[in-house]
């Protein structure tokens, strides 16, 4: 008699009470699946902690501009700390690496390359001077990376790999001229700055604008970086008889200018000075008799009251016990970090190319108003305020733009080729002055 074969998968429970293989193994199989899923979840969480998002901070911690850049580093680190305290980004913590450009363009380029290649950063935040930024731009372009640049600059540059949120000359100079004309009936302007591309470009833009409205740039002076010798400038101001002085000097140079004007008997009521590069923090360190009655130009003014400002508190919350940034430069540096962070959130990824696309349409609330990246130029729309300096060092806001001004890296007063040619000439002339040989001794003279 033939026997019918039984499929083991369908074998019945025998007399001995032993279960079929499928019945006996299912609990073990289900348990293994659960353990595997749990282990995968744990592993993913562990890997997420072990693989933070990395930010490269690139500024000068040494060299002539270290003092100006140190507050920017502090503001950027504080913003990253706050983001980590809030849970990080996309469930990942942020780690940052600070590199020192040493106030040297070649060093900035090398440090940018190292941050991208060795530290594998997801973004670069930083650069302050024109020299440092223009040295880093080719590096980020060659590596198809991203630089978020917080500082003001002269413009004449657009790159798909760079987002600049600092103000351009058309966002500072043009509104200030309009206010001076309306509030002071100013027609004669004098400009003093530093011998650098930003000041020179602002002077060229100012001259173009004044010519277009029938006003006059009666004089312009450019001092070597860090120079405190303003005696000849005081004489030039006195002889040119301007209605207002536009000062692009910062720090001690600006303080010396105001002091020597006062010592020369020049009062703010007779000749006001509009300061474009002096922060509220710096104003508190200047002698009150020198600064009271003059004017400051910035995105907004809030001074020591900023921490109580609701917009400021939302934008710059601080639980670390550190003082929040109050200078415009430090606030811009903090905003640069937060703008990038919002782009990461919106993109759902820290991938450089993905974030680079998302950030070109990014907006961010700030105490001065909404900072919005212009998708065409990748520079930020910015507001401007004019304020009078009080005897206690605070600034009373007198006027502000009704809305943010569109960035114009290449102002329409000249063509793009003309502005590019202008910038090249400025750089060449400065290089020539730097390496100019000493005069040859006259015949018979002792060397």
| Residues 54-88 pLDDT 10s | 999 999 999 988 888 999 999 999 999 999 999 99
Please report, to the nearest 10 degrees, the dihedral formed by the alpha carbons of residues 77, 80, 86, 91 taken in order: -150
Residue whose pair of structure tokens reads 């000849």 in the numeric block: 232
- Across the range 277-286, mean pLDDT stands at 86
The Cα 362–Cα 438 span in angstroms is 52
Strand partners, 164: 149, 379
Angle of helix 169-184 versus helix 197-213 axis, rounded to 10? 40
Mean pLDDT of 92-102: 97
Supply the pLDDT for residue 227: 86
pLDDT of 90 higher than 70:
yes
- Residue-level pLDDT at 105: 93
In the three-class reduction of DSSP (H, G, I as helix; E, B as strand; rest coil), residue 134 is classed as helix
User: What SS3 state is found at 207?
Assistant: helix
pLDDT band, very low/low/confident/very high, at 119 (cuts 50, 70, 90):
very high
CATH number assigned to the domain covering 50-167+308-380: 3.40.50.2300
Q: What is the mean pLDDT of residues 337-364?
A: 96
Confidence class for position 429, pLDDT limits 50, 70, 90? confident
For residues 161 and 140, give the distance between their C-alpha atoms in angstroms, rounded to a whole number. 6
Spatial separation of the C-alpha atoms in residues 226 and 21, rounded to whole Å: 86
pTM of the model: 0.81
Structure tokens at 232: 């000849």
Residues 6+ apart with CB under 8 A from 237: 190, 192, 219, 245, 261, 266, 271
**Cα dihedral 286→290→292→293 (10° resolution):** -140
pLDDT tens, position by position, 373-415: 999 999 999 999 999 999 988 899 999 998 899 999 999 999 9
Angstrom distance (rounded) from CA 254 to CA 287: 12
Q: What is the pLDDT of residue 218?
A: 98
Which tokens belong to 427? Answer: 């750089």
Interval 214-225 mean pLDDT: 94
Q: How confident is the model at residue 17 (pLDDT cuts 50, 70, 90)?
A: very low
Which ranges of 143-250 does DSSP label H, i.e. alpha helix? 169-184, 197-213, 231-240
Q: How far apart are CA 139 and CA 161, in angstroms?
A: 10
The whole-number pLDDT of residue 49 equals: 53
Q: How far is CA 180 from the centre of its chain?
A: 27
Residues 6+ apart with CB under 8 A from 74: 322, 325, 330
User: Does the pLDDT of residue 12 top 50, yes or no?
Assistant: no
Helix, strand, or coil (residue 203): helix
Give, for 220, the enclosing helix (H) or strand (E).
strand 216-223
Residue 313 has pLDDT above 80, yes or no: no
Position 195 pLDDT exceeds 60: yes
pLDDT for the residue numbered 438: 45
| Dist CA 68 CA 62 (whole Å) | 11
**In this structure, are strands 380-381 and 371-373 parallel, antiparallel, or unpaired?**
antiparallel
- Residue 143: name the closest of 125, 121, 176 by CA: 121
Residues of the chain with CATH 3.40.50.2300: 50-167+308-380, 169-303+383-432
Partners of residue 389 on adjacent β-strands: 395
Task: Evaluate if residue 307 carries a pLDDT over 50.
Answer: no
Residues 6+ apart with CB under 8 A from 428: none
**Across 13-27, 140-154, 226-240, least confident range:** 13-27
Angstrom distance (rounded) from CA 333 to CA 201: 23
Lowest mean pLDDT among 180-194, 294-308, 429-443: 429-443
Question: CA 417 to CA 420: how far, in whole Å?
Answer: 5
**Cα–Cα distance measured from residue 143 to residue 386, given in angstroms and rounded to the nearest whole number:** 41
Residue 219 has pLDDT above 90, yes or no: yes
Mean residue pLDDT across the chain: 84
- How would CATH label the architecture of 169-303+383-432? 3-Layer(aba) Sandwich (3.40)
| pLDDT tens per residue across span 40-49 | 444 444 444 5
Q: What value does the mean pLDDT take over residues 195-219?
A: 95
| Range from 114-123, 182-191, 276-285, 346-355 carrying the lowest mean pLDDT | 276-285
Q: Kindly give the pairing relationship between strand 295-298 and strand 385-389.
A: antiparallel
What is the model's pLDDT at position 7? 44
User: For the CA atoms of the chain, what is the radius of gyration?
Assistant: 30
Give the three-state DSSP class for 142. helix
The residue that leads in pLDDT, 29 or 81, is 81
> What is the Cβ-side half-sphere exposure of residue 357, based on CA atoms within 13 angstroms?
7
CA atoms within 13 A on the CB side of 411: 23
Question: Shortest CA distance to 272 belongs to which of 232, 233, 231, 237?
Answer: 237
HEC assignment per residue over 57-124: EEECCCCCCHHHHHHHHHHHHHHHHHHHHCCCECCECEEEEEEECCCCHHHHHHHHHHHHHCCCCCEE
Is the Cβ–Cβ distance between 404 and 369 less than 8 Å? yes
Gap between the Cα atoms of 304 and 78, Å rounded: 18
Q: What is the 3-state secondary structure (H, E, C) of 178-190?
A: HHHHHHHCCCEEE
């Amino acid at each position: 008699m033939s026997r019918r074969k039984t499929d083991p998968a369908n074998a019945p429970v025998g007399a001995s009470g032993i279960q079929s293989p499928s019945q006996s193994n299912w609990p073990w199989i289900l348990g293994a699946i659960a353990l595997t899923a749990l282990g995968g979840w744990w592993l993913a969480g562990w890997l997420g902690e072990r693989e933070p998002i990395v930010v490269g901070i690139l500024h000068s911690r040494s060299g002539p501009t270290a003092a100006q850049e140190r507050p920017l580093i502090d503001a950027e680190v504080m913003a990253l700390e706050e983001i980590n305290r809030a849970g990080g980004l996309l469930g990942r913590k942020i780690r940052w690496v600070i590199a020192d450009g040493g106030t040297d363009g070649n060093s900035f380029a090398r440090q940018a390359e190292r941050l991208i290649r060795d530290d594998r950063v997801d973004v670069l935040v930083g650069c302050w001077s024109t020299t440092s930024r223009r040295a880093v731009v080719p590096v980020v372009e060659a590596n198809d990376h991203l630089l978020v640049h917080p500082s003001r600059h002269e413009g004449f540059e657009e790159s798909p790999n760079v987002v600049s949120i600092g103000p351009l000359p058309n966002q500072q100079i043009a509104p200030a001229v309009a206010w001076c004309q309306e509030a002071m009936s100013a027609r004669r302007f004098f400009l003093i700055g530093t011998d650098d591309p930003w000041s020179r470009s602002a002077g060229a833009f100012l001259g173009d604008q004044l010519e277009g409205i029938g006003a006059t740039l009666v004089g312009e002076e450019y001092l070597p970086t860090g120079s405190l010798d303003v005696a000849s400038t005081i004489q030039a101001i006195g002889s040119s008889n301007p209605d207002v002085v536009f000062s692009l000097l910062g720090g001690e140079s600006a303080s010396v200018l105001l002091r020597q004007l006062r010592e020369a008997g020049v009062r703010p009521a007779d000749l006001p000075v509009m300061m474009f590069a002096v922060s509220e923090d710096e104003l508190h360190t200047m002698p009150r008799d020198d600064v009271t009655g003059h004017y400051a130009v910035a995105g907004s003014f809030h001074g020591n009251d900023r921490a109580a400002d609701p917009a400021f508190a939302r934008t710059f919350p601080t639980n670390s016990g550190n003082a929040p940034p109050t200078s415009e430069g430090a606030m811009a540096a903090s905003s640069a970090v937060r703008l990038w962070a919002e782009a990461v959130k919106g993109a759902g990824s820290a991938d450089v190319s993905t974030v680079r696309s998302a950030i070109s349409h990014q907006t961010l609330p700030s105490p001065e108003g909404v900072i919005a990246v212009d998708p065409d130029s990748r520079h930020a729309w910015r507001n401007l305020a004019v304020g009078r300096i009080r005897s206690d060092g605070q600034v009373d806001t007198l006027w502000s733009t009704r809305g943010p001004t569109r960035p114009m890296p290449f102002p329409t007063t000249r063509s793009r080729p003309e502005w590019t040619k202008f910038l090249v000439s400025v750089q060449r002339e400065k290089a020539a002055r730097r390496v100019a040989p000493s005069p040859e001794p006259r015949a018979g003279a002792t060397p």
